[in-house]
Amino acid sequence: MAQLLNGIEIRDQIKAECRPRVARLVESYCRPPGLAVILAGENPASQVYVQSKTRTCAELGIYSQTITPPASVSTEELLEIIEKLNQRPEIDGILVQLPLPPHIDTARVLLAVAPEKDVDGFHPCNIGNLVTGRPGPRPCTPAGIMELLRRYGIPIAGRRAVVIGRSDIVGKPMALLLLHENATVTICHSKTPDLPGVCREADILVAAIGRPAMVTANFIKHGATVIDVGINRIEDRALAEKIFRGDAARMAQFDKAGRILVGDVHPLDVRTVAGAYTPVPGGVGPLTIAMLMVNTIASAERRLGAA
């Protein structure tokens, strides 16, 4: 029986560790950590994500402010907002919620965030720190995965790791974090020959490609640890039936909601082949916001001299 790696339990552990750190900052420096989130436009999914982030801030005692310029905001106006936040001493972290409206120069906006306030870990300075193994904020989803592996006692050193996906947000930093823990790492993508064969070599397989249930049993080495980063919303009943193959409980969920979430890994196949795996939902997703809180607190500690 494959072991389920419960991201909700690990999230709760991380949040419990955050609370005394926030309390120490309030006691010693008379202010909590501060996080500013910029949400441009009215993307429904982004609104849900931001609400989750601000709710978690409130739960942990972190000050948060959400700035909501209209979808018509210009790149220059966003840059002005970020510069003001860079100058505010009570703001320790700045998060620009992606995607931005299509007319915005996203790269220029992200580059404008002061590296010391870049709690997403996307600024080139912080990516450079990651590459060279220097301290600094790490991208939240890969950092959360590393916490999950560590807290479940999954060995990394000397293991073969394969990451499917080469995005700047997940794939590349994930590979670097695994490399720093002495895994032998391969990054796969759409041009990789014999993708299933390469994946079957992995002791740790991380799927971050955005294609529902693409990673089937023939991608997975028997006993491997499989980390599913994908969150795909399925609204086609025929596709849901194909994926869940007679799983009455999951199809009942689909019929009730008219949709269901599926990861990049086939949810039935992984249980029969893997040694351990993350579910969708309830696996990697909860850890991303938890690590955002960790990065925000760590930024405040550095800026206040409490680190």
The residues annotated as belonging to the active site are: 53, 97, 120
Burial 270-298 (b: 16+ CB within 10 A, else e): beebbbbbbbbebbbbbbbbbbbbbbbbb
Using a CB cutoff of 8 Å and minimum separation of 24, what contacts does 197-205 make? 198/162, 199/162, 199/164, 201/160, 201/162, 202/160, 202/161, 202/162, 203/159, 203/160, 203/161, 204/149, 204/154, 204/156, 204/159, 204/160, 204/161, 204/162, 204/178, 205/161, 205/162, 205/164
Segment (H or E) for 244: helix 237-244
Kindly give, in sequence order, each residue whose CB lies less than 8 Å from that of residue 141, ignoring residues fewer than 6 positions away: 169, 170, 174, 229, 284, 287, 288, 291
Quote the CA–CA distance of 238 and 243 in Å, as a whole number: 9
Kindly give, in sequence order, each residue whose CB lies less than 8 Å from that of residue 161, ignoring residues fewer than 6 positions away: 175, 178, 183, 184, 185, 186, 202, 203, 204, 205, 206
DSSP state of 276: E
Q: With contact defined as beta carbons under 8 Å apart, do 185 and 175 qualify? A: yes
Quote the CA–CA distance of 144 and 162 in Å, as a whole number: 17
SS3 state of residue 184: strand
SS3 state of residue 162: strand
Quote the CA–CA distance of 31 and 22 in Å, as a whole number: 9
